[in-house]
Amino acid sequence: MKFGGTSVGDATRIRKVIEIIREAAREGDVVVVVSAMSGVTNRLIEAASQAEAGNRDAVDAIFQELRDRHSAAVSALIHSVEMRSRISRELRLVFEEGERLCQGTTLLRELTVRAQDSISSLGERLSAPLVAAALADCRVRSEAVEATQVVVTDDCHGSADPLTGPTRERCESRLRPILQRGAIPVVTGFIGATEKGVLTTLGRGGSDYSATILGAALDADEVTIWTDVDGLMTADPRLVLGATTIPEISYREAAELAHFGAKVLHPKTLRAVTQCGIPLWIRNTFFPERPGTRVTPAGSSADQAVKGLTAITDVTLITVDGPGIVGIPDVLGRTFAATAAARGNVLLISQSSSQNDICLVVPSSGAERTAEALRREFARHLAHEKMDHITLDPSVAIVTVVGKNMRGSGTVGRTFTALSRENVNLIAIAQGSSECNLSLIVKQQEVKTALHAIHQEFQLGVLDSRPLPVRSVDLGAANWHYDSGQQTASAD
């Protein structure tokens, strides 16, 4: 069971978490994975960059704020004086380590990837002992475990991937004995370590991934992601009023929704269970009586074509264009190689069949780096004007329609009709050949309108079941080449 940041955000919420764990432990063995308290990782990352800039006072202020927040939770949750002083000492050691890391960063005026990982991991290293102690305070036997001892990863700091074999062995030797003693391991989410023991992180929001990594390594019956919404929903509830919980969905669809921005699941979460087929649940910590979403290898059989919609707004469209690019040898291959070398995470690619332009959509954080890599790769062609320019447009967003039964269902035509009814302008489109997703690039300010229009067209939500004012015209999947000559492919 994994509990996210909001679920362990303060003492009142941690009490709810304890009730859920206690109830589940009556039924069988439970391994708990916890995130940092909500907002803590952001503050730690802020502290790291303040340290790099040499702003000691700002770093101290952040650490003081985090100390206060954790000690308030300790005071409210831990009643035994002895246990309270033990846990306070443990947390103090973690804070001191964090401060030393920040001091080192300030001295060097350089934030190394290792230091960045070590500083941002402190939140989980604080919340796991806190939750374990709170369980013990309620007479539930538990032990806090640092994931550095169990999740073995490669050395890709900031987005490490697990090494399955060694992780399995460590889980057997470190976690299984705790379960056999009748206790509950409370493991830090988000973190792993290389085979040499260097701490790594799995990427922002990575505690979901930690849960499936451990579930797979321990051959768990199921993995539950406990969060602050009722499950995986037809759209981000913050953007679409009336979004509803999806009762059952396939791994593939859930992975597509996560990849294209459904924050409730880290994009890599499903990777860890794909081989073993363990069911994954997404449920609401604050309403545990609600059923949530079940994610299974095949999903439910009686499915509508469109399962859900997502949007990613912090993306940038990079356009490589010019009349001569058709003549540049292996232009696509070189584009991919250059972006990969710059570790550019290409979310989507679209190319017109005339090859006059290639559009890439990447997270805005890495857009400049990716564009620079492309400019270097094509420097000669830019100089000889075979290529006009490589431009960046950060004002776009990706809206994605996901469903494994979309093929031949007329989804594409209906989507375009719904959008054109609302005058939403499509900048580029991409569809995977599996037809499990259809991605649309729109202006950021049109995201909400686009989501609402599609949500309503496919009657995905409670508010969408009323008849549509205008009957949609089913253009059929064959007509999806909406713009003259647009030929697209999905990036995954």
Residues that bind Mg ion (CB under 5 A): 4, 205
Q: Which is nearer to ligand ADP, 162 or 205 (CB)?
A: 205
Strand-pair category, 248-250 with 293-296:
parallel
Give the CB-nearest residue to ligand ADP: 4
Q: In what order do the strands lie in the sheet with 184-188?
A: 142-145, 184-188, 32-34, 2-3, 223-227, 280-284, 293-296, 248-250
Residue 307 near residue 253 (C-beta atoms within 8 A): yes
| Binding region for ligand ASP (CB under 6 A) out of 35-43, 97-105, 410-418, 435-443 | 35-43
CA 449 – CA 445 distance, rounded (Å): 8
Which residue's CB is nearer to ligand ASP, number 98 or number 403? 98
Tell the smallest beta-carbon distance from residue 206 to ligand ASP (Å).
5
Q: Are 2 and 211 in contact (CB under 8 A)?
A: yes
| Rounded Cα gap, residues 246 and 306, in angstroms | 11
- Tell me whether residue 30 or residue 229 sits nearer to ligand ADP (CB atom): 229
Distance of CA 297 to the CA centre of its chain: 20
Provide the greatest CA pair distance for the chain. 76
Euclidean distance between CA atoms 195 and 38, whole angstroms: 30
Residue nearest to Mg ion (CB): 205
- Among 14, 11, 9, residue whose Cα is nearest residue 32: 14
98 belongs to the binding site for ligand ASP (CB under 6 A): no
Task: Give the number of other CB atoms < 10 A from CB of residue 180.
Answer: 9
Q: Which residues contact 66 (CB under 8 A, 6 or more apart)?
A: 40, 43, 44, 95, 126
Among 339, 249, 238, 347, smallest CA distance to 293 is for 249
280 close to 270: Cβ distance less than 8 angstroms:
yes
Min dist. Cβ of residue 370 to ligand ADP (A): 25
Q: What is the contact mask toward ligand ADP in residues 188 to 227, using x (rule: CB under 6 A)? A: -----------------x---------------------x
Pick the closer one to ligand ASP by CB: 146 or 457: 146
- State which residue, 98 or 205, has the beta carbon closest to ligand ADP: 205
Q: Is 34 or 401 the residue whose CB approaches ligand ASP more closely?
A: 34
Which residue in the shown chain puts its C-beta closest to ligand ASP? 207
Q: Does 388 bind ligand ADP (CB under 6 A)?
A: no
Does position 128 bind ligand ADP by CB under 6 A? Answer: no
Mask 31-50, x = binds ligand ADP (CB under 6 A)? ----x---------------
Lookup: tokens for 14: 């941690």
Q: Which does 21 bind (CB under 5 to 8 A by kind): Mg ion, ligand ASP, ligand ADP, none?
A: none
Rule CB under 6 A: is residue 262 a binding residue for ligand ASP?
no
Residue from 63, 190, 251, 416 touching ligand ASP (CB under 6 A): that is 190
Q: 174-183 contacts: CB < 8 A, separation 24 or more?
A: 174/145, 174/149, 174/150, 175/31, 175/145, 175/150, 175/214, 175/218, 176/218, 178/143, 178/145, 179/29, 179/31, 181/141, 182/141, 183/141, 183/142, 183/143
Q: Does the protein bind ligand ADP through residue 348 (CB under 6 A)?
A: no
Which one of 69, 174, 263, 271 is in contact with ligand ADP (CB under 6 A)? 263
Question: From Mg ion, ligand ADP, ligand ASP, none, which one binds at residue 322 (CB under 5 to 8 Å depending on kind)?
Answer: none
Among 60, 157, 48, 54, smallest CA distance to 102 is for 48
Determine if 192 is a binding residue for ligand ASP (CB under 6 A): no
Structure tokens given for 234: 């037809």
Q: For helices 122-137 and 11-27, give the axis angle rounded to 10 degrees.
A: 70
262 binding partner (options ligand ADP, Mg ion, ligand ASP, none; Cβ < 5 to 8 Å by kind)? ligand ADP
Torsion of CA 177, 178, 179, 185, to 10 degrees: -140
Contact stretch for ligand ASP (CB under 6 A) within 85-93, 199-207, 395-403, 462-470: 199-207
Nearer to ligand ASP, 189 or 299 (CB): 189
Q: Does 262 bind ligand ADP (CB under 6 A)?
A: yes
Closest CB 41 distance from ligand ASP, rounded Å: 3
Shortest distance in whole angstroms from residue 327 CB to ligand ASP: 45
Quick one: 36 or 454, whose CB is closer to ligand ASP?
36
Least distance CB 275 / ligand ADP (angstroms): 24
Toward Mg ion, which CB reaches closer, 4 or 9?
Answer: 4
Q: How far is the CB of 206 from Mg ion (least distance, A)?
A: 8
CB under 6 A: which stretch of 82-90, 200-208, 435-443, 463-471 binds ligand ASP? 200-208
Count of residues interacting with ligand ADP (CB under 6 A)? 20
Interacting residue ranges for ligand ADP, rule: CB under 6 A: 4-7, 35, 205, 227-229, 232-233, 235-238, 257, 262-264, 308
Interacting residue ranges for ligand ASP, rule: CB under 6 A: 4-5, 35-36, 41, 123, 189-190, 204-207
